[in-house]
Amino acid sequence: MLKITTQSDVDVTKMILEGCLVGPWVEELDRCWRGVEGARQERVLVDLTGVTFIAPEGKALLTKMWQQGAKLHAVGCLTRCIVEDITKADRTGPSRSGRKDKR
């Protein structure tokens, strides 16, 4: 289960997620994300503090959201690692996870 709470003010829209980002809940978050006006997507903060698990399809959606301008906030060890993996990639390209370092 995933709870999505949206709070908007003049400067930022905050999407607060609580629970597991898996299965049908990924689709629900995607629907909510698409509901945010295009221009506003650059001023969205996705708060992952209450997220306990992120499936690969959830990570893919968060990557897409980040590439479209969302800021991701995480505090838990596992969630922070996922966010770090997403944000170390170029906003226009895929995450670097799984790539071998060529020296």
Task: Return the SS3 of 78.
Answer: helix
Q: Give the pTM.
A: 0.83
Residue 39 has pLDDT above 80, yes or no: no
Residue 21 lies inside a defined structural domain of this protein: yes
Sign of CA dihedral 82, 93, 2, 25: negative
The residue-averaged pLDDT of 85-90 equals 86
Give the residue numbers spanning the domain of 79.
2-87
* pLDDT tens for each residue of 53-86: 999 999 999 999 999 999 999 998 999 999 999 9
Residues 69, 44 contacting (CB under 8 angstroms): yes
Helices (H), the chain: 24-35, 56-67, 77-87
Residue 70 lies inside a defined structural domain of this protein: yes
- What's the total number of domains in the chain? 1
* pLDDT tens for each residue of 18-29: 999 999 999 999
Residue 80 exposure: Cα atoms within 13 Å on the Cβ side: 3
Residue 97 lies inside a defined structural domain of this protein: no
Task: Return the SS3 of 39.
Answer: helix
